[in-house]
Amino acid sequence: MSRMLFKFLPVLCVVLIAAIPCSQAQTNTEAKRSIIQGIEAYRSAEMNADSLFALGESHSELRPLAAYNRGRSIMEQEGRQLEARKAFQRAAQETNDPSLQADAWHNTGNSLLMEDEFDSAIEAYKSALRADPSHDAARYNLSYALRMQNEEEQDQEEEQDQEEEQDQEQDQDQEQDQDQEQEQDQEQDQDQDQEQDQEQDQEQDQKQDQKQDQEPQQVEGQISQEDMERILENLERQEGEIQAKLRREKGQGKKSKIEKDW
């Protein structure tokens, strides 16, 4: 992650005014002591630093500082980011110190950046710069968050493009599968047609064979039925010609001698 500047604000010296009631002064003294002990506990990596800063929030004047330090002490603990941000927001809202406001908003942005909440982190860094335009760490981390946001958008676009490409490939695969199925169906239809044609040809061949088997076979030296029919037709035609010739001769008063071949 980028250079994120985390720091504790120095403990403010408090001058107790005589007008403050004794009970309030005692409370402030205890709260101030808790803040000091919390800083020491944090520097020693002790786990009770945040509870000491929580006690310090009872100080009438150092409440924003205690809230800021409390948020800082729990900021990097797993699962406590939201609690840390609430502490920073209390510090920013309750202080009139621009430097403390800027630090509180800056660390709010850092907490959001740890959770990849780039949009919210950017707004927090902008709030820090509005409180203190010279806050270099907030400016640096704002630039980093904007860059990360841009990369995230590009990644999302690339993922979307990849999903679209995958969808297109799936559509193409489905179309190819459909085309293959259609080709297979056509081939099957052609095969069926060929089988039917073959069956029809076989049936026709069988019928022709049966017809030939049923037709009488011509004995060698015997006149076939067809030849007999042709001979009869010729004899009838010749007889008709002879009769016509006799009728013509008779009409001319001539007697014709009928010659016979036998």
Nearest CA-CA partner of 56 in 33, 79, 80, 81 = 33
Please provide residue 129's backbone torsions phi and psi, each rounded to the nearest 5 degrees: -70, -30
Predicted confidence at residue 13, as pLDDT, reads 32
Residue 117 CA from chain centroid, whole number: 24
Least confident interval from 53-57, 78-82, 165-169 = 165-169
Nearest CA-CA partner of 86 in 96, 74, 78 = 74
Predicted confidence at residue 159, as pLDDT, reads 85
The tens digit of pLDDT for each residue in 7-61 reads 433 333 333 333 455 566 778 888 899 889 888 888 888 888 889 998 988 898 8
Least confident interval from 18-22, 91-95, 109-113, 231-235 = 18-22
The number of CA neighbours under 13 Å toward the Cβ of 142 is 18
The tens digit of pLDDT for each residue in 198-224 reads 888 888 878 777 776 665 555 566 667
Hey, where are the domains in the chain?
19-83, 96-157
Predicted confidence at residue 229, as pLDDT, reads 81
Share of the chain above pLDDT 90, in %: 32
Query: What is the average pLDDT across 100-112?
Result: 95
Cα–Cα distance measured from residue 39 to residue 261, given in angstroms and rounded to the nearest whole number: 158
Cα–Cα distance measured from residue 245 to residue 262, given in angstroms and rounded to the nearest whole number: 20
Does residue 34 contact residue 56 with C-beta atoms inside 8 Å?
A: yes
Which fold is adopted by the domain 96-157? 1.25.40
Q: How many CB atoms lie within 10 A of CB 20?
A: 13
Cα–Cα distance measured from residue 218 to residue 83, given in angstroms and rounded to the nearest whole number: 119
Cα–Cα distance measured from residue 38 to residue 53, given in angstroms and rounded to the nearest whole number: 6
